[in-house]
Amino acid sequence: MIILNADTRALTAGAKYSYLSATYAAGVSSLTVTNADAFAANDYVVLGEIGFEQCEIVQVNTVNTSTQVITLVAATVFPHTESSRVAVTPFNKVRFFWTATETYATTTPLTGYIALQPNDWFTKYVDNSQSTGYGWFIYQNSTTGFVSSNSNSIPYANFSRSTVKSAIDGFYSLINNNEQKLITYDDALEWLNEAHDIAKNDLDLSNNEFNASDGTDTVSVVASTAEYALAANFGTMISVWVNNTPGVTNGTTLDPMDLADVDANNLLLSGVNPRWYIRGGYIGFTPAPTSAYTVYYRYQKTAADLTSYSDVITLPRKAYHLLKTYMLHKAKIKLRHADAMATLGMFEKGIEKMRLQAVNRDSSLDSFGQGVGTNV
């Protein structure tokens, strides 16, 4: 038995909203709000806070902005108190799917479009048929027929400890903020990416192997063209070498040249003893080439953006745990906690330790001592 959860909380993030101007019993078909400008006919709205027992989704029939009254297509099911939130939601239904592989498809639906369950943080479906594979869901507005993009994949084998999902869940557990009221999913994902970028960049300072490109990239140099686009995820260069270059032995490593010296070097005899330089997202060769040859290079990759729950965070020494500390630091800044900088210090010390350990190839068997001429 696998339980699939479609997050209902996200449906009112950034939505237009107002508040009830009075307390209402169940079974009413018109509501007075503090500002009816937020609503339009046929809108679906959430009455109350998602996850609370008497929260419900209703549809707007008419809107009177003079009296601030909205009428509903059907009467309410639950009572609602004055000042309850009334928020527009783009969707009122959800549909679940299953696939054998981590590629979204609609060929194997698990359900039709079913009503969202706003009295819970999640709309749930229990799959008693499949035990492996991946679950998915999409939302629908049943009036317009508009559907959302597909969700992240939901692995039936659960998310591993190194995935984005596990990192964000662990972070929310640390701040006891599962409701996502103060810290949104977008906040958490942005901070996780910041921490990931910092960790990857810091690692590159001392280790040019862990984030190295997969295999080698090539540049097909042609006569009279000095500069060529680098790989989109290029960070810093590790090595550059050539093949089939006139006057240069195959496999010869090319030396770099500072960009400030390139123009002067171009005055030399073209194509002789080429050197390389970096300008923005381009690699250039100086003097300008006079014939075709192939250049190979290996580089450190920039950190890939983490966008999906199933994205795997790859860091040495299982340092993905440290990223939650940085996220906690950012959360404390937003929540104005006094010890935010102390949390940052914990993160920086952890990253420094990761960086130092990742340099070694001999099981961290470093030795330390005083040189013969040391004055103490």
Q: What is the pLDDT along the chain (376 residues), one digit of tens a residue?
A: 899 999 888 888 788 999 999 999 999 999 999 999 999 999 999 999 998 999 999 999 999 999 999 999 999 999 999 999 999 999 999 999 999 999 999 999 999 999 999 999 899 999 999 999 999 999 999 999 999 999 989 999 988 889 999 999 999 988 876 555 678 888 999 999 999 999 999 998 888 888 999 888 999 999 989 999 999 999 999 999 987 666 677 778 999 999 999 998 888 766 567 899 999 999 999 988 888 888 999 999 999 999 888 889 999 888 899 999 999 999 999 988 999 999 999 999 999 988 887 765 544 444 444 444 444 4
List CB contacts of 55: < 8 A, sequence separation 6 or more: 46, 47, 48, 49, 78, 118, 119
pLDDT number for residue 4: 94
Looking at the structure, do residues 82 and 117 belong to the same domain, yes or no?
A: yes
Q: Quick check: is 369 in a domain?
A: no
pLDDT number for residue 215: 80
Looking at the structure, do residues 3 and 145 belong to the same domain, yes or no?
A: yes
pLDDT number for residue 322: 93
Is residue 242 within 8 A of residue 262, CB to CB? The reply is no
Q: Quick check: is 316 in a domain?
A: yes
Q: Quick check: is 345 in a domain?
A: yes
pLDDT number for residue 180: 59
283 burial level (CB within 10 Å; 0-12, 13-18, 19+): buried
Looking at the structure, do residues 129 and 201 belong to the same domain, yes or no?
A: no
**Final residue before a domain boundary, out of 251, 270, 301:** 301
pLDDT number for residue 367: 42
**Final residue before a domain boundary, out of 256, 279, 301:** 301
pLDDT number for residue 245: 67
My answer on whether omega of the bond before 287 falls inside 30° of 0, hence cis, is yes
Q: Tell me, what DSSP letter sits at residue 138? A: E
Looking at the structure, do residues 132 and 229 belong to the same domain, yes or no?
A: no
Looking at the structure, do residues 224 and 94 belong to the same domain, yes or no?
A: no
Q: Quick check: is 323 in a domain?
A: yes
pLDDT number for residue 373: 46
Looking at the structure, do residues 229 and 147 belong to the same domain, yes or no?
A: no
Domain that residue 311 falls in: 164-205+304-359
H or E stretch at 199: helix 185-204
Looking at the structure, do residues 312 and 289 belong to the same domain, yes or no?
A: no
List CB contacts of 246: < 8 A, sequence separation 6 or more: 271, 291, 293
| Domain total of the chain | 3
Give the closest residue to 188 by CA, choosing from 327, 311, 295. Answer: 327
Phi, psi of 192 (to 5 degrees): -65, -40
Q: Quick check: is 106 in a domain?
A: yes
Give the strand pairing for 282-286 and 275-279.
antiparallel
Give the closest residue to 59 by CA, choosing from 143, 139, 119. Answer: 143
Looking at the structure, do residues 49 and 153 belong to the same domain, yes or no?
A: yes
Q: Quick check: is 370 in a domain?
A: no
